[in-house]
A and B are shown apart, each in its own frame.
Chain A
C-alpha cells in the first residue's frame, strides 16, 4: 500500500472496471483524469462483459495450459484492425486484448466456449467458437453506445451515466468527408449544433450556434476546449484528422462547469494519443472543385441594349433636363463612337463579350496528406501526427495552405503518477480575394464587371470598368486576382503538459498547464496596375497580431463506491486564465516599384501612420462537481463554478454558476429489465446557470480615446472622451432547463436521443444606445433578456447488420425558436449591424433575433396609377412600397419585419451501407424557415448603368410589362430607388447533397501480404446538389461577421462542387 496504489488487481477487484473502459480512458488520457480512476466505478455496463484485470497483462505472465488455441483479427467496419479490443470467454474473467493490428490469440479450455468481443464505441458480439481455430470478427460501431466514454470537462463519464445533454462525434465519422477545419467536420453531426459554412472561400467563414443565440453584444460562439485547455487561437489551426472525438456540451448541467464561458455551449475536442505497439498511417486525398452554380448576368448585347433603353427613359424621369439638353452628351451612341477601335467596331457593335464568372473561376485542385506514427510500451506511449493541406479556391489565385505537426507523449512514470504533454504547431498561409464589399471584392466584380471590356487589351494593359463612361470605379476581377495580394499568415503553437497523481485509492490530483500562442501577420499589397477607389496607387500594408493565452488548472477527483448501491464521484479545483493581445500596423502608399510588394515598406515616400493596440483579460475560478449514482437507476449531478473576470466592474468581478441534474434509468427497473425491446431507457432533467463574459476588455472603465488633429500641417495627437463607464457591469447569465430522453432498443440497433430545452438569458450585455448629447453613443449595460426554445431529436438505426452487409441510418433534426423578451428600460427596438443603405435587421421584443427589417415592396406603379404614384413622388415604372401607416409618404415608419436569418429547423440525414469491403455513405443536409436578405439586388438589380446587372433586369417595367417587381430601367444619374425591402428577402430553405462517398477496403489477407494492416480507397462528391428557391450562389451564406447577420448577403465567395479521391493506408 505504500507507493503502489495503481495496481490493476486492486483496482479491478475493488471497483470492477472493464478493459474497455481502461483502454478508452487510456486513449483519451490527454483531457481525462489520468486513466481509469475517474471512471465512475461499480457499474457493469449492460452490453459488455466484465473481465478480470489480470488479463490486461498481455506482455508477460504465465499462460494456462489449454487444449485449443484460437487466433484471429478484430476489425472495424472498414476492415481495419482494432488494437486493444477485448476477447473474453463468456461467463469467465479469462480473456485477452488485441495487439496493434487487432490480432489476438486465446487459449480455450475445450474449444466450444463462446467468445465475447467488445471494444469501446462498438457493439459487442458473442461468437460461439465451435471448435474453430481462427475467428475473425468485424465489430460494428455504435456511436451512441452506452459504454462510450464521454468527455464532460475536467473529467469523463460513461454515456449511460450522463445526466446532461452531450453530443459526440468520433474520428471515424470525422474522416468521412474532407474537411480543413473542425467546424466543417462538425457540420450536421449533432442535433442542436448548427454549423453554417457561409462562404466558398477555402477554409470557410463558418458560424456555429449551439442551441440558438444567447447574447446580443457578447459572443454567441461556443467555447472550444482542446485536451482540457481552452483553445483561444482560432480552432482552424487544428487538423481534423488529429481528433479522436468531439463532445459537445449543450445543456447547462453539462456546461456549468465552464461557468462564465459556458452559455453558448462547449465543444470539447480530444486529440489522438499514442498507442501501444507501433502504427504508421497515411491518409491522402486529391480533390477537384468547380463553381457549383452560376448567376445569370447581362452579356454584351443585353448590356448595351438595356443602356439604350435606359437612356431613352431619361426623357420620362427628368423631362426638364432632357428638354434642356442636359443629357445630350450622355447619349450612348456618342460614348460608343468615341471608343471605336477600343471597345466598339465601326458599326458600334462591341468588340468583346466577356463572361467574367468563367474567367475568374477555375477547376481548383487540392490535396491533403496526413502521416501519423504512434507507438510505445506499457508505461509510455507517443504519437506524431503530420499534415499538409493545400486547399485551392475556385477563384483564381486564392488558396489556403496549412502544415501542422503534433507530438504527444504520455507516461505512467510510477504507479502513482502519470505525466504527459502535447505540442501542436500549425502554419497556415492563405490568399483571399473576397475582402470587403467594394470594388476590390472579386465575388462582387465577377458579377458587376461589364462584359464589353476585355481582360486585357492587345497592348497587354488591363481592361477597366471606367474605360466605358458612366461606370463606377472597381476593377476587372482577373486584374484584381493578379495584382491584389491579400495574405493571411498565421502560426499557432498550442502546448499543454499535465501531471496526474494518485493520492490514495479513488483520489487523484491533476495539474495542467496550457498555452495557446498565435502569431499572425496579414500583408496586403497592390500593384499600380489596378485602380482602386484609393487614389494612392502601389500600396502595401502589414497587419500583425500576437496573442497569448495561458491557463493553469489544478483539481482533485474522488471516486468512492460507498456500498453496493451508492457511489460518488467528485471533482473540485481551481483555475487561472490570462490572455494578452497586441496588434500593430504599418502601411505605405505610392510604392515606387511594383517589385517590392510588402517586403520593403521603407522605399515609399508616403508612409501611413503606424498603429498598435493592446488588450488583456484575466480570470480566476473555483469549480466543483459531484455525481451520485444509486444502483445505476438514479443519477444525480450537481455543479458549481465561482468565476472572477477582470472584464467586469469593480463591484461585480465574481459570480457563481450552479447547476443540477437528475436522470432516471427506467431500464434498470424491474418492469423493464427483462425487456427484449428496450435495452436502455433514461429520462434526464437539468437546470443550470451559465454566463458570458466575452465582451471587449475595459468596458467598465471611463477610457479616453485618441484621435488625430492637424495643426500646422502636421499630426497632433488628441485625447478625447472614449467610453462611458459602467462600474456595475456584470455577467450575462443564461438559465437553461433541459428535459431529455435517451433510449436504446433492440440491443442498440435503434438509438434515440431527444431533448427539449428552454434557455433564458438575462442581464444581457448590451452596447445600449445612450443619447448622443452625452458625447457618447453607447454604454455596455446589463439590460434585456431573451429566450430560446428548442427540440432536438436524433435517431440512429442499424437497419441491416450481418457479416456481409450492414446499413445504418443517422437522422437528426433540431427545431429552434428564439424570442427577445426585454430590451433596455423601455423595450425600444435596437438595430444591430450590418447597416446597408439603412438598418438591415432589428431586435424587437417578441421577435426572433436576426429578424430582417425593411419596407414592403408590392410591385411597380402602373400606367393607370399616375395620380396615386405622384402622391408618393413616384412615376409609373417606379418601385411601389406599401404605405403601412397610411400617412401618404414612404419612409422609415413604413418598415416591417420581413424575414429571419435563422432556421426554424435543420438537420442531417445520412445513410451508410457496407457490403463486404465496400462502403457507401450518402449525407444530406437540410434547413428550412431561414430567409436570406440578398443585398446584391441593390447594385445588380435595383440600379443599372453603373455596372453590370443580373439578367433579371430584363424583366423590368415597360409599358408592355407592368406586372413586375423590377423598376423601369434608367441611368442611375436620374435617380433610382433602392431600399432595404421585402423583395430582397428570399426563402433560404434548402436540401443539400452534402457528401456521397464510395469506398473500398482491400481484404486484410491481401494487404497483409504487402505488410499493411489496412488499405482503403474512396471517391466522393461534396455539395453535389442543392435544392432551393434562393436565387444566389448558395443559401448557406452570410457576408458579415456581425452577431445577427446570418443570411445577410452581399456578394459571397461562391460555393463549389467537389470531387475527391483518397487513400487510407495503415501499417
Chain B
C-alpha cells in the first residue's frame, strides 16, 4: 500500500509547506520599483533625492488644466488686464468673474502645494536622523524649509485661512481631516521656515536653479510686505520688508539684464536679475508658456496649438508712458511675426501679445519643446519691494528712488524725483504693473493693497466695485480664491470662502 500513500505524504508536505509559507514570508510584499517611507531616509543621497523632488512642484503654475487653461493664466485673468482667445470656457469665467469653486486651477494649486508640503514635512522630519555630513544636512533641510514656506505662502494668499500641516500624515492622523488655521499662524510658520533656510548655509546665489540665500531673503521680503498689507495689516513689517530687501540689494549679485530678450531665452536662465525660477529642460520637463501667449492659431510658430490664452488688454498696454522701451515692438510685446508656413508673409495679430514669453528657441525649431523657465523671483520685484516698504516706513529715500529709477532708466524713461509719499507709493505700484506685467504679481498686489489699476484714467483705485476695461466689476469674493470644491466635498471640517 505504501506507494499509494506517497502522494498523500506529498500533499501533506505541500500543505505544511504552504502553511509555513502563509505564516512567514510567502505573502510579503516587496515593491522593487519604489521605497516605502519606513525603508527610506538612510543615506545622504536619499536625503538629497527627497529634497530634489520638491523642486518639481514649482512647475505647478504651468500645469495643464485644459485647453489654454493654466494656473498662471488664471492668476492674470482674474486681475482684469488680460483676455483670452480660443475656446476656453473656464478662462472666460475668470474674465467675467463667473467662476465657481470647481474651477480646475483652484484644485491644481491647492493639490500641488499640499503635495509638496507633505513631502517637505517628511523630509524635515526624517533627514535629521540620517547619519551624514552635517553641513550638507543643514543645507538640505534649509531647502526643504524654503519649499514649505514657498507653498504655504501661495496657499495662504490664495485661499486665506488654510489647514496648517507640519507633520507627515498617515491613515490614522487626526490631521487627515484638518480645520483651517488662522492666517497669522500660517504666516508665523512661513517666517520661521524662511529664517531657518536663511541660516542653513545656502550659497548666496545659485545658477543651477536651487534655492540660494538671496532667494530666501527675497521671498522673506515679499512675505513681510504682504503681512504689512491686507488682511493682517502688520504695518511694522514694512520696516522688516525693507530691511530684508535691502540685504538682497546689498548682496549686489543680481544685476539687471541689459536686454529684455534675456528674460525669455535659454542662455540666461538663472542668471543676472533672475533670482529663482521653476526649471524646465527639453526632454525632461517642458511647458507651453510660449504657445499660450501666441494669438489663437496665428501660425507663427511650430507649436501644434497656439492657444492665445493670455492676451493683454489694449487698455493696459496703452498705459505705458510714451518712450517706454518695454512697450516697443518685440520688447515685452509684439503685434506681428513672420508666418511659419510662408516666411515671406508677416502675420498681423491685431493685438499686443506677450513677447516677454515668446521662446524663440522652441517656437521656430521643429525639434524642441518649449523649455523656458518660469520666473518666480527677479530683482526688479525686490527693488520695488524695497522702495515701497521703505516709503511706508519712512517716506521716499534716495535709495528708494535709486531702485525704481534703475528700472525706469533701463526702460529709457526719465528718473522720478520729488514725489510725496503718496505719489511715490502710486508710482511704485504702477511700476510693478509695468515691469512685472503678467508675471503673476498683480493679483497678489491687489489682495494686499485692495487697489487695482484703472487703466482708463491711469490711477490706482479701490478694487472692490471697480469696473475694469473688460466691463467686469471686481467683487469682494474675488479677493480670495474658492477652496477647491473637491476639498470641500471631502472634508466636512472645512468652511468655504465668502461668496464661493
A-side interface residues toward B, CB under 8 Å?
Answer: 3, 325-326, 328-329, 416, 439, 466, 469-473, 501, 503-504, 509, 511, 531-537, 554-556, 573-574, 576, 589-590, 606-609, 612-620, 622, 644-647, 653-654, 697-698, 700-722, 724-728, 769-777, 779, 826, 828-829, 873, 889, 891-893, 943, 946, 972-973, 975-978
Q: Report the minimal beta-carbon distance from B47 to chain A, rounded to whole angstroms.
A: 10
With A645-B27, A710-B280, A772-B486: A719-B46 Cβ-Cβ less than 8 Å: yes
Contact code string B346-383 (vs A, CB < 8 Å = 1, else 0): 00101100000000001000111100000000000000
Interface set, chain B 273-305, CB cutoff 8 A to A: 279-285, 296-297, 299, 302-305
Whether A620 pairs with B21 at a CB distance below 8 angstroms is yes
Q: Report B-chain residues with C-beta under 8 Å of the C-beta of A622.
A: 15, 18
Whether B487 pairs with A773 at a CB distance below 8 angstroms is yes
Q: Report B-chain residues with C-beta under 8 Å of the C-beta of A705.
A: 34
Q: Report B-chain residues with C-beta under 8 Å of the C-beta of A589.
A: 283, 367
Contact code string B80-108 (vs A, CB < 8 Å = 1, else 0): 00000111010010001010101000010
Listed by A's residue number, 26 A-B pairs whose Cβ atoms lie within 8 Å are: A325-B350, A469-B297, A472-B297, A555-B11, A576-B21, A614-B31, A617-B29, A620-B21, A653-B27, A708-B284, A710-B209, A710-B284, A716-B55, A718-B56, A719-B46, A719-B53, A725-B37, A769-B486, A771-B177, A772-B110, A772-B115, A773-B165, A774-B173, A775-B119, A892-B102, A973-B87
Whether A646 pairs with B87 at a CB distance below 8 angstroms is no
Whether A709 pairs with B52 at a CB distance below 8 angstroms is yes
In the complex, A83 Cα to B304 Cα: how many Å?
66
With A533-B304, A536-B369, A719-B46: A873-B98 Cβ-Cβ less than 8 Å: yes
Contact of B348 among A329, A707, A773 (CB under 8 A): A329
Q: Report B-chain residues with C-beta under 8 Å of the C-beta of A873.
A: 96, 98
B-side interface residues toward A, CB under 8 Å?
Answer: 3-5, 7-8, 10-11, 14-15, 18, 21-22, 26-38, 40, 46, 49-56, 85-87, 89, 92, 96, 98, 100, 102, 107, 110-111, 114-119, 121-122, 162-163, 165, 168-171, 173, 175-178, 207-210, 269, 279-285, 296-297, 299, 302-305, 308, 348, 350-351, 362, 366-369, 484-487, 489-492, 494
Q: Report A-chain residues with C-beta under 8 Å of the C-beta of B92.
A: 975
Whether B362 pairs with A535 at a CB distance below 8 angstroms is yes
Whether A509 pairs with B53 at a CB distance below 8 angstroms is no
Whether B49 pairs with A891 at a CB distance below 8 angstroms is no
Q: Report the minimal beta-carbon distance from B259 to chain A, rounded to whole angstroms.
A: 21
Whether A892 pairs with B284 at a CB distance below 8 angstroms is no
Q: Report B-chain residues with C-beta under 8 Å of the C-beta of A726.
A: 171
In the complex, A708 Cα to B110 Cα: how many Å?
20
Whether B33 pairs with A776 at a CB distance below 8 angstroms is no
Q: Which residue of B lies closest to A893 (CB)?
A: B100
In the complex, A746 Cα to B405 Cα: how many Å?
105
Q: Report A-chain residues with C-beta under 8 Å of the C-beta of B46.
A: 719
Q: Report the minimal beta-carbon distance from A621 to chain B, rounded to whole angstroms.
A: 8
Q: Report the minimal beta-carbon distance from A319 to chain B, rounded to whole angstroms.
A: 12
Whether A537 pairs with B100 at a CB distance below 8 angstroms is no
Whether B111 pairs with A772 at a CB distance below 8 angstroms is yes
Whether A647 pairs with B10 at a CB distance below 8 angstroms is no
With A710-B279, A774-B114: A326-B350 Cβ-Cβ less than 8 Å: yes
Whether B115 pairs with A775 at a CB distance below 8 angstroms is yes
In the complex, A498 Cα to B389 Cα: how many Å?
84
Q: Report A-chain residues with C-beta under 8 Å of the C-beta of B15.
A: 554, 574, 622
Q: Report B-chain residues with C-beta under 8 Å of the C-beta of A721.
A: 37, 115, 118-119, 122, 168
Q: Report the minimal beta-carbon distance from A656 to chain B, rounded to whole angstroms.
A: 13
Contact of A709 among B29, B32, B53 (CB under 8 A): B53
Q: Report the minimal beta-carbon distance from B12 to chain A, rounded to whole angstroms.
A: 10
Q: Report A-chain residues with C-beta under 8 Å of the C-beta of B4.
A: 416, 501, 503-504
In the complex, A946 Cα to B308 Cα: how many Å?
14
Q: Which residue of B lies closest to A707 (CB)?
A: B56
With A645-B27, A724-B170: A973-B52 Cβ-Cβ less than 8 Å: no
Contact of A537 among B305, B362, B366, B487 (CB under 8 A): B366
In the complex, A708 Cα to B305 Cα: how many Å?
25
Contact of A775 among B22, B35, B114, B207 (CB under 8 A): B114
In the complex, A719 Cα to B484 Cα: how many Å?
26
Q: Report A-chain residues with C-beta under 8 Å of the C-beta of B169.
A: 724, 774-776
In the complex, A416 Cα to B269 Cα: how many Å?
80
Whether A719 pairs with B50 at a CB distance below 8 angstroms is yes
Most interface-central of B22, B107, B484 (chain A CB within 10 A): B22
With A607-B283, A775-B115: A710-B55 Cβ-Cβ less than 8 Å: yes
With A724-B170, A892-B100: A774-B89 Cβ-Cβ less than 8 Å: no
With A606-B367, A972-B87: A709-B55 Cβ-Cβ less than 8 Å: yes
Contact of A718 among B49, B110, B279 (CB under 8 A): B49
In the complex, A554 Cα to B16 Cα: how many Å?
12
With A724-B170, A873-B98, A973-B86: A892-B8 Cβ-Cβ less than 8 Å: no
Q: Report B-chain residues with C-beta under 8 Å of the C-beta of A978.
A: 89
Most interface-central of A329, A711, A713 (chain B CB within 10 A): A713
Q: Report B-chain residues with C-beta under 8 Å of the C-beta of A504.
A: 4
Whether A556 pairs with B487 at a CB distance below 8 angstroms is no
Q: Report the minimal beta-carbon distance from B128 to chain A, rounded to whole angstroms.
A: 17
Q: Report A-chain residues with C-beta under 8 Å of the C-beta of B303.
A: 535
Q: Which residue of A lies closest to B15 (CB)?
A: A574
In the complex, A829 Cα to B486 Cα: how many Å?
11
Task: Give the 7 A-B CB pairs with smallest separation, nearest first.
Answer: A775-B118, A718-B53, A712-B208, A710-B279, A533-B304, A709-B55, A771-B491
Q: Report B-chain residues with C-beta under 8 Å of the C-beta of A574.
A: 11, 14-15, 18
Whether A715 pairs with B114 at a CB distance below 8 angstroms is no
Q: Report A-chain residues with C-beta under 8 Å of the C-beta of B21.
A: 576, 620
Q: Report the minimal beta-carbon distance from A474 to chain B, rounded to whole angstroms.
A: 9
Q: Report B-chain residues with C-beta under 8 Å of the C-beta of A328.
A: 350
Contact of A717 among B5, B30, B52, B366 (CB under 8 A): B52
Q: Report A-chain residues with C-beta under 8 Å of the C-beta of B107.
A: 772
Q: Report the minimal beta-carbon distance from B150 to chain A, rounded to whole angstroms.
A: 14
Whether A712 pairs with B209 at a CB distance below 8 angstroms is yes
Whether B279 pairs with A711 at a CB distance below 8 angstroms is yes
Q: Report A-chain residues with C-beta under 8 Å of the C-beta of B54.
A: 709, 718, 720
Q: Report the minimal beta-carbon distance from A734 to chain B, rounded to whole angstroms.
A: 22
Whether A703 pairs with B35 at a CB distance below 8 angstroms is yes
With A326-B350, A536-B367: A774-B209 Cβ-Cβ less than 8 Å: no
Beyond A721-B115, A772-B114, 6 extra complex contacts between A and B, CB < 8 Å: A620-B27, A707-B56, A773-B110, A775-B115, A873-B98, A891-B100
Whether B367 pairs with A535 at a CB distance below 8 angstroms is yes
In the complex, A326 Cα to B351 Cα: how many Å?
8
Contact of B176 among A470, A573, A771 (CB under 8 A): A771
Q: Report B-chain residues with C-beta under 8 Å of the C-beta of A3.
A: 3
In the complex, A622 Cα to B21 Cα: how many Å?
12
Contact of A615 among B5, B31, B175, B209 (CB under 8 A): B31
Whether A770 pairs with B176 at a CB distance below 8 angstroms is yes
Whether B87 pairs with A647 at a CB distance below 8 angstroms is no
In the complex, A589 Cα to B368 Cα: how many Å?
10
Whether A777 pairs with B111 at a CB distance below 8 angstroms is yes
Contact of A720 among B115, B171, B209, B367 (CB under 8 A): B115
With A535-B302, A535-B304: A719-B10 Cβ-Cβ less than 8 Å: no
Q: Report the minimal beta-carbon distance from A536 to chain B, rounded to whole angstroms.
A: 6
Q: Report A-chain residues with C-beta under 8 Å of the C-beta of B176.
A: 770-771, 774
Q: Which residue of B lies closest to A872 (CB)?
A: B98
Whether A720 pairs with B487 at a CB distance below 8 angstroms is no
Whether A646 pairs with B28 at a CB distance below 8 angstroms is yes
In the complex, A724 Cα to B36 Cα: how many Å?
10
In the complex, A607 Cα to B284 Cα: how many Å?
10
Q: Report B-chain residues with C-beta under 8 Å of the C-beta of A654.
A: 22
Q: Which residue of A lies closest to B303 (CB)?
A: A535
Q: Report B-chain residues with C-beta under 8 Å of the C-beta of A534.
A: 304
In the complex, A769 Cα to B27 Cα: how many Å?
28
Whether A711 pairs with B171 at a CB distance below 8 angstroms is no
Q: Report the minimal beta-carbon distance from B84 to chain A, rounded to whole angstroms.
A: 10
With A326-B350, A533-B304: A772-B368 Cβ-Cβ less than 8 Å: no
